[in-house]
Amino acid sequence: MKHIIVVCIIACCALAVASSPLFAEEGMGKCNFMPGRGGMCEKKADHEGMFLHKASFILKNAAELGLSDDQVEKIKAAEYSLKKSVIKEDADIESLALDIKEALRKDVVDLNAVNSLVDQKYAIKAQKTKEDIAAYANLKALLTKDQHKKMKEIWGSKGKEKMGHKGMHEEKE
């Protein structure tokens, strides 16, 4: 009898562990924020995502920030340029990954050839990261000090609104 109870408990535990991915929070997989990127979730804090998120926020609040038409056009041009280069770089990275898999599939692996492909792949990734960081830095440099300060204020107030919080110093009614 005890043996049957132990087996049932083990079976229930195994079932719970096996089914836990079914009940995982939505968004744990790919988010498909941008086609060709394999998804970008809030949890993925890459530099490209930082740039696109901040650029989008700035453009949505352009009037409140007092952006000039020239600033708006520069931000839109930077967004376009980054998105276009990301598509090409991601395709190159994916292509090199396939080349690496193909080289490893052969009966005799040419380590020099594989190492060269790996070096090419990560050189593109390094260049891509540098471009993303440069775009982010340039975006921040487009704003005046007053606009940057205002952006932080808006960012803070919108974050509080989303979370439904009142400011720390506001009195409760």
**Four-point Cα dihedral 69, 75, 77, 82, nearest 10:** 180
Average pLDDT over residues 138-156: 92
Q: Would you state the pLDDT for residue 49?
A: 87
According to DSSP H, which parts of the chain are helical?
2-19, 47-60, 62-65, 69-105, 111-142, 145-163
Evaluate whether residue 4 is within a structural domain.
no
Number of domains in the chain: 1
Return the SS3 of 23.
helix
Evaluate whether residue 45 is within a structural domain.
yes
Evaluate whether residue 118 is within a structural domain.
yes
Residues ≥6 apart with Cβ < 8 Å to 148: 140
Residue 40, pLDDT above cutoff 70? no
pLDDT in tens, 112-133: 999 999 999 999 999 999 999 9
Domain that includes residue 82, residue range = 31-163
pTM of the model: 0.63
Evaluate whether residue 93 is within a structural domain.
yes
Evaluate whether residue 6 is within a structural domain.
no
Q: Calculate the average pLDDT of the chain.
A: 78
Evaluate whether residue 25 is within a structural domain.
no
Evaluate whether residue 3 is within a structural domain.
no
Residue 56, pLDDT above cutoff 60? yes
DSSP sequence for 50-99: HHHHHHHHHHHTHHHHT--HHHHHHHHHHHHHHHHHHHHHHHHHHHHHHH
Evaluate whether residue 65 is within a structural domain.
yes
